[in-house]
Structure 1
C-alpha cells in the first residue's frame, strides 16, 4: 500500500499482475465455434443431408458443445466486462441444453404428449418462436458496432422463424428453408470465431475483417 497525494491509500499492483489482467483470454472464439458447430450440424440434419431423417445425434453435441461450452464462455465474459457476450453465450447455451432435453427419451417430454405429434409440433413452434424473439433483441446492441454479428443474428433469426413456421404448419419446404439459413448462420459464426482468434494472436499472418463500425 502507498499513500497518494490526497492522503488516500493506493493499492500497489505489481507489473506482472497488471500484465495478467491485460492478457485475459477472450472466450468469444470458444463460444462461437461451439455455437457454429452445433447450429451447422443440426441444420444439415434439417436439410436431410446424406438422407438422414432422425436428428438425435445432435443431442450430445447440443448438451456439451452448444450448451455447456457456450455457458462457460458466457460466464467467462463476465470478468471481461462484456455484457453482450455474457448474455448471448449464456442464453444460447441454455437454449441448446433445453433443446437437447426435449429429445432425450428419458426426459419424458415427448412421451408426455401421448403420441399427439400435432400438439407437440405446436409446442415446439412456440418454443422456437420465443427464441426468434430473443434473437431479435440481440440485434440492436450490435447494429452500430459490428456488421458480421448483425449478419449472424439476422440469419439466425430467419432460421428460427422458418423452423417455427414449419413446426406450426407441418411444411417440409419451410423447415428446409430454416435449415439453409441455419447452415449460413453456422458458417458466419465459424468466420467470426476464426477472425477473433487471429486478432488475438500477435503472430497471425492474416486478419479477417468483421466490419467494425465503432470501437465505443
Structure 2
C-alpha cells in the first residue's frame, strides 16, 4: 500500500521576502516624496539616486526573485516591477542627456500607474494593508503623471503628499511582517480579506 503524497510548499525554507521589498519601496518613496511635496528643496532629489539604485531598485528586485522561489506570483510581479521602476528612474532622471521632457516622464509614470491599478484589484484577495498601499500608490502615480505632462506643480505636490502616505502604510505593512516573523505570530493587524492565504508568507 503506497503512502499518501505529501504536498510540498514551495520555498518553505526561505524567509518571507515581503518585509524587505516593502521597506525598500517605502524608504525610497519617502525620500522622493519629500522632494515632490516641497518639504525639502528640489536640489535634494539627487539624494534619492543612490537609494533608487541600491535599495528601491536592487534590493526590491531581489525580494521579487525570492517571491518567485516561494511561488508567490503577486509578490514576485510587484517587487520585480517596482525594483525595475526604481532602476529606470535612477537612469532616467540622473543619467540621461538631455534630460527627458515632462511629457516623457509623465508617460513613464502613467504606465506604472496603469500597472499599479490592476495590481490594486489583485490586493482585494489579499489583505487591507496591501490594498491601502496599492490604492494610495495608484493615486500617487496618476497625480505625478498628469502633473509632469501638464507642468502642474500643484498636481505634483499633491502627488508627493500621497506618496508620503503610501510610504508610511508600506512601512507599517513591512513592520507587521517583521514582527510576525520574530514573534512567531501576528502582532500588528494587516486585515486579511477573502482570498486563500499562503502559509509560508506572513504578508501576502
SS in 1 for 2:183: coil
| In 2: Cα distance, 1:193 partner to 1:160 partner | 21
CA contact (8 A) 1:56 1:103 kept: no
Rg larger in structure: 1
Deviation track 1:120-159 (CA, whole Å, cap 9, x = no partner) reads: 0011111100000010110121113211111110100111
Q: Which residue matches 2:168?
A: 187
CA contact (8 A) 2:12 2:70 kept: no
| In 1: Cα distance, 2:129 partner to 2:16 partner | 17
Q: 2:146 aligns with which of 165, 169, 175?
A: 165
Deviation track 1:82-126 (CA, whole Å, cap 9, x = no partner) reads: 11000100000000000010122xx3x2x236xxxxx70011111
Q: Does 1:202 align with 2:192?
A: no
In the alignment of these two chains, the number of paired residues is 192
- 5 Å-filtered alignment, 1:1-216, equals 5=2, 22-50=12-40, 52-54=41-43, 55-104=45-94, 107=95, 109=96, 111-112=97-98, 120-202=101-183, 207-214=187-194, 216=196
| In 2: Cα distance, 1:202 partner to 1:27 partner | 17
Give the deviation of 1:214 after TM superposition: 3.1
Give the deviation of 1:23 after TM superposition: 4.3
Which runs of no fewer than 5 residues in structure 2 stay unpaired?
A: 197-204
Q: Which residue matches 2:200?
A: none
Give the deviation of 1:215 after TM superposition: 5.0
SS in 2 for 1:139: helix
Moved over 4 A (4+): none
Q: TM-score scaled to structure 2, two decimals?
A: 0.87
| In 2: Cα distance, 1:123 partner to 1:58 partner | 20
Q: TM-score scaled to structure 1, two decimals?
A: 0.82
| In 1: Cα distance, 2:133 partner to 2:184 partner | 27
CA contact (8 A) 1:27 1:77 kept: yes
CA contact (8 A) 2:136 2:166 kept: yes
